[in-house]
Structure 1
Amino acid sequence: MHITITGNLGSGKSTICRLLSEKYSFEIYSTGKVQRELARQMNMTTLELNQLMRSDQKYDKMIDDETARISRENKDKDIIFDSRLAWHFVESSFKVFVSVSLEVAAERVMNDKRGDEEKYTSLEEAIKLLAARAATERVRYKEIYNLNYMDFSNYNLVIDSTYNLPDQIAEIILNEAKEYENNPSYRTKMLVSPKRLIYPEDNKEEDKRRLSKLIDEYKKLPYTIDTIIKVKKQEDDYIILEGHDNAKAALLADVPYIPIDVIKI
């Protein structure tokens, strides 16, 4: 099984990859590992290769080709590819995007020890600079590859990490990857915690009997419900359009995830 994982800055994707490796014996190929292997083949240090990459885009292509080669020549191995664009270059994989709210991402990177180049004086500065860095990456990948790695239609699973722990996410990714392998009709899923949704305020009295029944039903579920909740994106929030009762029942039943469909309005 090959799984390619990318995600927002601060989403915890590298931690998730490490857990998949430790708990389920996947080998990890990160962009850095591929880069080191390429440098070895070229009898160079990784620092020398990094310097070349800044001045010549052909080395990006060499790393992409190396990623494709590794996947092609190791079809019998369980491998995680931790990379922004491996979903595009690995020939056959379960493609995962790990999302996170910008504020939580900023809090995480502020608390991480990521060296002098990623130090922030405030949460507001971290939010601003993370957003700017993501925008720069989108432009760079568009210019070099004509790709938008933030287009969720590129992935089989989009899973949010804002309110959920990495070990739980790793287990869900593996379960979904197995389902993908065994189900030819597997459709793209976007899973978020019920806590990420904004619930409409209205005067309509809820069907408390139906809500109670749904809560009892959802408490028996492993990690998600079947009903897809239709939402609209507003800045960093998801606002419910349809499926309010199902979403609220999932929230009250402490279901880790619900599937959503983002409607463009």
Structure 2
Amino acid sequence: MLITVSGPAGSGKSTLAAGLSDALGYEHVSGGDIFRSLAEERGVSLVEFNELAEEDDQIDRDLDQRLRTTAREGDDIVLESRLAGWMAGDYADLRLWLDAPLDARAARIADREEKPVAQVREETRTRTESEAQRYEEYYGIDIDDRSIYDLTLNTARWSADACLSLVLDAADAYDPESDEGAYAVEGVRYEF
């Protein structure tokens, strides 16, 4: 089974994906890990690679290609990134979208990065707008379109353990043989 975990910064993607992979015995593949791997391959630091990515759209495209390849070739994987649900396309069995209000996400990031919440809130808002513009420009993806996701969770409503429990219940109830309620989503598989 391929499970994708997507959502904006601070939504709890990494926490949930790690918990899912542990509970299910699946491999956890993170877009952040792939990004670090790409930086390593180019022999640059993460800071330098981030700066390069702002000027070179091929970096985002390389990351997304690795996500697609992982989805196409892997089995029993939790694939985590903002675009994992889109990049996995028809290969995904269960697509999850995590979200929380900006203030909750900013507080989580501020705590993790030891920065002032107001600063993180503005950085996160700016980053979200920039990413949405790039996704639309690169792939024609409207990141606010939730129609491809099987389950959407507001992670500000439940603890990390409760979110994991909800998703594990959904994964357990997943029936790949069921056609009930199934439908095709046009434009989900991308060829780049």
TM band (smaller chain): 0.7 to 0.9
Unaligned residue ranges in structure 1 (runs of 5+)? 189-265
Match of 1:164 in 2: 158
Q: Is 1:184 aligned with 2:179?
A: yes
Match of 2:190 in 1: none
**How does the TM-score come out when normalised to structure 1?**
0.59
Q: CA RMSD in A?
A: 2.5
The correspondence for 2:83, drawn from 71, 82, 85, is 85
Distance 1:31 1:46 in 2: 17
Identify the structure with bigger relative contact order (alpha carbons < 8 Å, sequence gap 6+). 2
Larger radius of gyration: 1
Distance 1:38 1:127 in 2: 28
The correspondence for 1:140, drawn from 118, 134, 151, is 134
* C-alpha spacing 1:165/1:28, structure 2 compared with 1 (3 Å): same
* C-alpha spacing 1:54/1:107, structure 2 compared with 1 (3 Å): closer
The percentage of counterpart residues that share the same residue type is: 28
Contact 2:3 2:95 in 1 (8 A): yes
Contact 1:156 1:187 in 2 (8 A): no
Partner amino acid for 2:87?
F
Q: If each structure's helix is expressed as a fraction of its own residues, which one has the higher value?
A: 2
Per the alignment, in what secondary structure is the counterpart of residue 152 of structure 1?
A: coil
Cα displacement string for residues 23-67 of structure 1 (whole angstroms, at most 9, x for unaligned residues): 222211111222344456xx4335365554333212322222222
Per the alignment, in what secondary structure is the counterpart of residue 97 of structure 1?
A: strand
Mapping for residues 196-207 of structure 1, pairs under 5 Å: none
Distance 2:118 2:42 in 1: 40
Distance 1:141 1:159 in 2: 22
Distance 2:128 2:142 in 1: 11
Q: If each structure's strand is expressed as a fraction of its own residues, which one has the higher value?
A: 1
Distance 1:81 1:136 in 2: 23
Q: Is 1:150 aligned with 2:144?
A: yes
Give the length in aligned residue pairs: 178
Contact 1:141 1:148 in 2 (8 A): yes
The correspondence for 1:174, drawn from 144, 168, 177, is 168
Partner amino acid for 1:153?
S
